[in-house]
């Protein structure tokens, strides 16, 4: 599903696609009600569609399913106002953990069912009111990061419960989780931690710091193509590339 990177241009109704093959931008005017902010919870859906909820500056309680085949928009109801967190799709539902609203972090977590087109509440985030959540699906649970502390969390989808997965990382406000086959990565500020599927309770910090520091909030899902992982900071309008072979981070584009 993760074909390219998608986002609204801040302060407009322009929906933008960054093509990770050509490293180029295209956009269209979306039929949404409000001028859009940044740092919304975004993920891609089956059928070449995108889920988009919330936003920062302005703080929005709006949600959309954007059909990229024909540029039609489905407006979602009863969206919680939040930003600075990601959305994650699994088994016909989208999960959103914690986040930020106006001047504070949130502990609230929710999921959206595509079968019923309704929201339901999940158990609150175990670290309390936090934001900058990155969510990585692994089997039938999510690995979750946050903005502070030293823990990565495991969210059991069936049990709607959390456990500490690892206590060997250093969390920062700017972070992202992704994997390449059985190797798992966690980037936080200028640090890179790695783990493997056989032992996800242990994450080891690379001896070398990242070549580029993550200075901006990340809410996009990572997209992997040709041994490169692309992701973006929509508020700062920066697109990053992580090379899986050299394990170096760089900026691809500032738009």
pLDDT digits (tens, 9 = 90+) for 18-54: 999 999 999 999 999 999 999 999 999 999 999 999 9
The neighbour count for residue 46, using CB atoms within 10 Å, is 9
Of residues 134, 87, 136, the one with CA closest to residue 111: 87
Question: Using 50, 70 and 90 to split pLDDT, how confident is the model at 234?
Answer: very high
DSSP 23: T
HSE at residue 193, side-chain half, CA atoms within 13 A, is: 24
Question: Is pLDDT at 1 greater than 80 in this prediction?
Answer: no
Q: How far apart are CA 143 and CA 77, in angstroms?
A: 28
Of residues 203, 123, 129, 113, the one with CA closest to residue 155: 123
- Cβ(125)–Cβ(77) under 8 Å? no
Q: Which domains does the chain have, with CATH numbers?
A: 5-254 (2.120.10.80)
Share of the chain above pLDDT 90, in %: 97
Residues, the chain, total?
255
pLDDT at 139: 84
Question: Is pLDDT at 219 greater than 80 in this prediction?
Answer: yes
Per-residue pLDDT, averaged over 120-143, amounts to 96
pLDDT digits (tens, 9 = 90+) for 46-85: 999 999 999 999 999 999 999 999 999 999 999 999 999 9
pLDDT at 2: 85
Of residues 99, 112, 124, 107, the one with CA closest to residue 217: 99
pLDDT at 175: 98
Question: Is pLDDT at 108 greater than 80 in this prediction?
Answer: yes
* Torsion sign, CA atoms 225, 179, 124, 189: negative
Of residues 201, 216, 212, the one with CA closest to residue 152: 201
Phi then psi dihedrals of residue 215, to 5 deg: -100, -5
Q: How far apart are CA 227 and CA 70, in angstroms?
A: 30
Question: Is pLDDT at 114 greater than 90 in this prediction?
Answer: yes
Q: Return the SS3 of 166.
A: strand
Q: How far apart are CA 36 and CA 40, in angstroms?
A: 9
State the pTM of this model. Answer: 0.96
Cis-peptide, bond into residue 76, ω within 30° of zero: no
């Amino acid at each position: 599903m993760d074909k390219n990177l998608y986002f609204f241009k801040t302060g407009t109704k322009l929906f933008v696609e960054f093509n990770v093959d050509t490293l180029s931008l295209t956009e269209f005017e979306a039929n949404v009600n409000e001028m859009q902010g940044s740092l919304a919870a975004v993920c891609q859906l089956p059928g070449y569609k995108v889920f988009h909820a919330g936003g920062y500056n302005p703080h929005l309680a709006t949600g959309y399913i954007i059909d990229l085949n024909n540029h039609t928009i489905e407006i979602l109801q009863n969206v919680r106002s939040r930003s600075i967190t990601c959305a994650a799709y699994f088994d016909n539902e989208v999960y959103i953990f914690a986040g930020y609203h106006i001047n504070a972090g949130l502990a609230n977590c929710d999921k959206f069912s595509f079968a019923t087109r309704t929201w339901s509440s999940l158990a609150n985030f175990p670290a309390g009111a936090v934001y900058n959540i990155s969510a990585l699906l692994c089997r039938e649970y999510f690995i979750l990061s946050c903005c502070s502390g030293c823990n990565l969390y495991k969210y059991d989808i069936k049990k709607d419960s959390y456990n500490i997965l690892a206590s060997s990382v250093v969390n920062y406000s700017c972070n992202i989780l992704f994997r390449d086959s059985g190797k798992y990565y966690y980037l936080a500020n200028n640090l890179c931690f790695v783990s493997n599927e056989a032992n996800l309770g242990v994450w080891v910090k690379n001896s070398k710091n990242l070549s580029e520091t993550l200075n901006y909030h990340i809410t996009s899902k990572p997209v992997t193509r040709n041994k490169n992982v692309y992701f973006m900071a929509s508020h700062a309008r920066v697109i990053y590339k992580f090379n899986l072979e050299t394990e170096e981070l760089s900026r691809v584009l500032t738009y």
